[in-house]
Chain A
């Protein structure tokens, strides 16, 4: 499968969007997609606080959430278009305020279809499904 060709449109439209983009793939192909995004120069994060920091810097960002991050991702994706993200890290109980950069950024959340929380479909903009 030529991912570059498959994802070309998705990536070009995802640029500078004011909504986060969702990429839904099967569990077994997850690492292929991850590698592809890495090769494309995306900064990859699996930690929610790192991800938030990246949003403030902008650029091409890929986030691969854990299953238990669904609610956090929902909260972040819901706030992303509103110009600021306020997030409580419920482990450290620390609150952060992030002003996401949209210009020349692509923010993609990569999730295995099998782990998808249906709620997540609503707050995302562009969605790619394998």
Chain B
């Protein structure tokens, strides 16, 4: 065992695991096959600073979303180098096309050539040979590709049209039909081909660069970067060249990080986010105002490349951004999306500030975020099936536990404040469970827990922060099993935070069977929540969908792979950890490691018997990849007040369930 080697501030701007690289929190998958990827050693002198890190993060957002990105900026800011450096990090194969000068369409899209391998009369006389673009589009197993279209605005109109056909095909994951020969079609997949186009500012000393038609820009996520390196970045790069320490070097601010929501929402889930209606209305007003500002040249008047805010594309992108990055604070995520898709098109800081004033108004009041009648995520994330019918006040819920003589079953604002030293009572959302459900908690050994993911000051409340906030009883230490790598420690200890809201949680296996198998526990827990805890009352669609998805997943694995779930361990279950992680049931039923640590510290501090002390090892829904091995789920146990985090196969039988309903 090793003690954690992180503090709340220590998260790396660029974090690498076996399978991914995160750029200020935005995670991209590595290619399994590194063939033809740039050599990472060529980028050892690449400087990750306050300019290049957000630059990489912004590129990563676009790639993660499957959107093509168009970057406008001067030649000296290192656009191509940054893209290649990221490709080197990720093992992606780069396909580069420079559109300046005479480029024949067939060089891009391919053509028939005499078959160089013709040996017999049966061999075809001619074969189709890919061009630079089509070879980038070809889906090859285990490979991710990056297609760089350099100097797009120096392209001939004909080539530009062909490239836009490619983008359109990519957007719908369709086929590119080669108009030169309609018999050739190339299937595209925007998860494996990422597209970046680069342009120098039109005019302004760049010969032959014409402004692109603003209508064409809508296909792209357009980013306006500076013409020259910002002074700070230039100083740091130059100091580094001469091996001189940089004076007053600024650290990357915490706000620059943008974390991917591991359980990305589907567009259908968005309606469940508290306050979504209000904020959507405000967004519509914002979009209209921002568009008008561009049209009336109140912003971007000096930018040689004209653009507009597209009525269809921008809202769709903002929605997709919300799906991927929403982590419980709709205001924060929405505003981050607007900075990305709207402010990102603007260069001038004063103009950005004008937009920022508008962005600040795209928010939902706190009261609306914790409306108990509102179904779904965020404040009501831990709601019950009856959430639409009722909502108890914090005092009412606490009273129910007192009446049952089960005070230790209630972890509310006072318990949080007493343990961690923060939490203002008015901030607590109402309890979205019915009296009938709460009255069964004692019998089933369940606690009603209010979870918070941030402190009153807005600081992220992760394991590291929990440890430093709790100083009573000699504190609690969290230890990681040897072999869990630093990136995973940071994922679990720093990036993951408790989901905000009330939940029911318990360490008893009364309702959940005695098997240790991860999937079987999930299945029996879902069933028991529905039939026992809620007495067959109607559960929400979200819950039903999760149940069906899990059933399908288990039966598919039973029928196609192995006779029963338990045997999956012997047939590559580790490979499926990420698939299991994606199951909605997993997020409804299981707790994250940080959520258990949170509850454990409070139980420990209060001396409640629900503490895991001396209890068995339990599953979490966090997972770790460890070094040179497949991902495995993380388990947690407590000994002598210390918390131990290990990693296990999903079928290890010594880890038992922890019931943690997030039912809606």
Contact = CB atoms under 8 A, between A and B. Distances in A.
B224 interface: no
Contacts of B103: 71
B26 to A, nearest CB: 22
Contacts of A70: 101
A90 B131 CA distance: 8
Contact of B96 (A79, A118, A119): A79
A34 B84 CA distance: 34
Given A74-B101, A75-B98, A83-B39, A93 B129 contact: yes
A89 B645 CA distance: 54
B111 interface: yes
Of the listed residues A70, A86, A95, A97, the one surrounded by the most CB atoms of chain B closer than 10 A to its CB is A86
A84 interface: yes
B38 A84 contact: yes
Given A84-B94, A88-B107, A119-B100, A78 B150 contact: yes
A95 B132 contact: yes
A97 to B, nearest CB: 4
Interface in A75-123: 75, 78-79, 81-86, 88, 90, 92-95, 97, 99, 117-119, 122
Contacts of B96: 75, 79, 85-86
B107 A84 contact: no
Interface of A: 70-71, 74-75, 78-79, 81-86, 88, 90, 92-95, 97, 99, 117-119, 122
Contact of A122 (B75, B129, B135): B75
Given A71-B102, A75-B98, A93-B129, A83 B42 contact: yes
B74 to A, nearest CB: 12
Contacts of A95: 95, 130, 132, 135
A83 B110 contact: no
Contacts of B102: 71
A84 B100 contact: no
B38 A83 contact: yes
Contacts of B80: 78-79, 82
Nearest to A76: B98
Given A83-B81, A90-B104, A95-B135, 11 more contacts: A71-B102, A74-B101, A79-B80, A83-B88, A84-B42, A92-B113, A95-B95, A99-B38, A99-B39, A122-B75, A122-B207
B116 interface: yes
B534 interface: no
Contact of B81 (A71, A81, A97): A81
Contacts of A119: 100-101, 207-208
A93 B131 contact: yes
Nearest to A90: B107
A119 B98 CA distance: 13
B648 interface: no
Interface string B122-139: 000000011110010000
A74 B207 CA distance: 14
A83 B98 contact: no
B84 A84 contact: yes
Interface of B: 36, 38-39, 42-43, 75, 80-81, 84-85, 88, 93-96, 98, 100-104, 107, 110-111, 113, 116, 129-132, 135, 150, 207-208
A interface majority secondary structure: mixed
A35 B655 CA distance: 76
B101 A71 contact: yes
B583 to A, nearest CB: 39
A84 B95 CA distance: 10
A97 B129 contact: no
Given A82-B81, A83-B88, A93-B129, A74 B98 contact: yes
A92 B39 contact: no
Closest 10 CB pairs of A and B: A93-B129, A83-B42, A84-B38, A86-B96, A97-B36, A82-B80, A71-B101, A82-B81, A99-B39, A75-B98
16 contacts: A74-B101, A75-B96, A83-B38, A83-B42, A84-B94, A86-B94, A86-B95, A86-B132, A92-B116, A93-B129, A93-B130, A95-B95, A95-B132, A97-B93, A97-B94, A99-B39
A18 to B, nearest CB: 9
Nearest to B40: A83
A45 to B, nearest CB: 21
Contacts of A97: 36, 93-94
A90 B84 CA distance: 23
Nearest to B95: A86
Nearest to B133: A88
Contacts of B130: 93, 95
A74 B88 CA distance: 23
Given A88-B107, A99-B42, A82 B84 contact: yes
Contacts of A81: 81
Given A78-B98, A78-B150, A88-B107, A83 B43 contact: yes
A92 to B, nearest CB: 7
Nearest to B80: A82
Nearest to B46: A83
Contact of A84 (B39, B75, B101, B131): B39
Contacts of B84: 82-84
Nearest to A120: B101
Nearest to A97: B36
B353 to A, nearest CB: 34
A119 B150 CA distance: 15
Given A71-B103, A81-B81, A83-B88, A93 B111 contact: yes
Contacts of A82: 80-81, 84
A94 B208 CA distance: 29
A81 B80 CA distance: 9
Contacts of B107: 88, 90
A97 B95 CA distance: 9
Of the listed residues A71, A75, A93, A94, the one surrounded by the most CB atoms of chain B closer than 10 A to its CB is A93
A38 to B, nearest CB: 29
Contacts of A88: 107, 131-132, 135
Contacts of A117: 101
A97 B208 CA distance: 28
A74 B102 CA distance: 11
A97 B135 CA distance: 13
Nearest to A93: B129
Of the listed residues A84, A94, A119, the one surrounded by the most CB atoms of chain B closer than 10 A to its CB is A84
Contacts of B131: 88, 93
B166 to A, nearest CB: 16
Contacts of A78: 80, 98, 150
A74 B100 CA distance: 9
Contacts of B100: 74, 119
Nearest to B93: A97
Contacts of B135: 88, 95
Given A83-B42, A83-B85, A84-B84, A93 B98 contact: no
B153 to A, nearest CB: 14
